[in-house]
Amino acid sequence: MKPMRTPILRGLKPYYRTRLGSAYLGDARQLLRRIPDGSINLILTSPPFALIHRKEYGNPPPEEYVNWFRGFIGEFKRILTPDGSLVIHIGGSWIKGEPRKNLYNFQLLLEISRELKFLQDFYWFNPAKLPAPAEWVAVRRIRVKDAVDPIWWFSPTANPKADNRRVLTPYSEDMRRILRGEKHYRLMERPSGHRITEWFRRGGEGAIPPNLIIAPNTDSRGRYIRRCRIYGIKPHPARYPAEIPRFFIRFLTDPGDLVLDPFAGSNTTGWVAERLSRRWLSFEIREDYLKGSMLRFERDEIIEGLENYPSGEPSKA
């Protein structure tokens, strides 16, 4: 295991620092330039989407999105280790005034693929997603709920560090019965051409997961939202659930590896990385979001920047 030292950017004071990570306030385009070549094992991020309506956290319009993002791609490639990975959660968008999708995120996929190898597509299904766009889904009823977001996985190599044994899921009861010999499973060739052999019944530590992450984004009673409410801080409006970084950090890194989120928001990535014994760096351009992200950590976890911790007496909310 690598020595557990907090990563820092030389010459810059972090907004706050924990035992394993540092969060910096500033524009990711400038901060990325301070990261040494080949030093990041995993870039895991959810950048602002190219939505029709402008959001408070800042989001480029669809027609400008790929040009805006292009400036990050070369830096991502430079700072990744030879066996490192880039994982981007990038939701879709709709054409203004029409019931059809914008292709900006697929255009971005092709653009990144010019510099890094596209390894696999993953998808996040949010069962709690509201019916949107409301005009086409809830009013005219001509489209269905848009509840699945793509997550792209890239790397400088076709064989990066990865081990799906770290993200196995529990076997179903039917599968456990097969493994115990209580249920017969006929060995045969599937219509797809795949042959089910005796090896299939040997089992293992769990089931290999699919490329679909099912996680409702309903953390209104979670620690971060609860503490934001107590301290009178507005939460970040576009958070992804902890299940996403937890899956990819386990799958693609070892303890002690370095994880970067250049669009940190409420710093879900850094918080999960800390709990999985990975070092982390997080960048956020808005101070109110970065200040709020400190509430994910206990006070005694913060070893630098405690003066930035939300101040004042907590309310009774």
pLDDT in tens, the chain (317 residues): 555 677 889 889 999 999 999 999 999 999 999 999 999 999 999 998 776 555 554 567 788 899 999 999 999 999 999 999 999 999 888 998 999 999 999 999 999 999 999 999 999 999 999 998 899 999 999 999 999 999 999 999 999 999 999 999 987 666 566 555 555 555 555 666 656 555 555 556 789 999 999 999 877 668 898 898 888 888 887 889 999 999 999 999 999 999 999 999 999 999 999 999 999 999 999 999 999 999 999 999 999 999 999 975 554 44
pLDDT for res 190: 60
Q: Which of 238, 300, 298 is nearest to 268 (CA)?
A: 238
pLDDT for res 297: 94
- The span from the CA of 134 to the CA of 149, in Å, is 18
Triad 138, 141, 145: Cα angle to 5°: 60
pLDDT for res 194: 57
Give me the count of residues in the chain: 317
pLDDT for res 317: 41
In this structure, what token pair is assigned to residue 28? 């990711």
DSSP 164: G
> What does the pLDDT look like over 178-211, one tens digit per residue?
555 555 555 555 666 656 555 555 556 789 999 9
- The span from the CA of 305 to the CA of 294, in Å, is 10
Q: Evaluate whether 107 touches 93 at the Cβ level (below 8 Å).
A: no
pLDDT for res 154: 99
pLDDT for res 33: 96
Q: Evaluate whether 223 touches 298 at the Cβ level (below 8 Å).
A: no
pLDDT for res 7: 81
Q: Whose structure tokens read 């249920």?
A: 183
Phi and psi based region of residue 292 (left: phi greater than 0; alpha: psi -120 to 50; beta: remaining): alpha
pLDDT for res 235: 87
pLDDT for res 287: 94
pLDDT for res 217: 83
3-state secondary structure of 268: helix
- The span from the CA of 256 to the CA of 274, in Å, is 10
Residue 64 C-alpha from the chain's centroid = 23
- The span from the CA of 183 to the CA of 179, in Å, is 8
3-state secondary structure of 100: coil
Q: Evaluate whether 286 touches 205 at the Cβ level (below 8 Å).
A: no
Q: Evaluate whether 151 touches 113 at the Cβ level (below 8 Å).
A: no
What spatial distance separates the first Cα and last Cα of the chain, rounded to whole Å? 43
Q: Evaluate whether 176 touches 169 at the Cβ level (below 8 Å).
A: no
Residues 6+ apart with CB under 8 A from 122: 150, 151, 152, 153, 211, 212, 213
Q: Evaluate whether 108 touches 65 at the Cβ level (below 8 Å).
A: yes
Specify the amino acid at residue 137: V
Q: What is the pTM of this model?
A: 0.88
Domains by residue range for the chain, with CATH: 16-166+208-308 (3.40.50.150), 169-206 (no CATH)
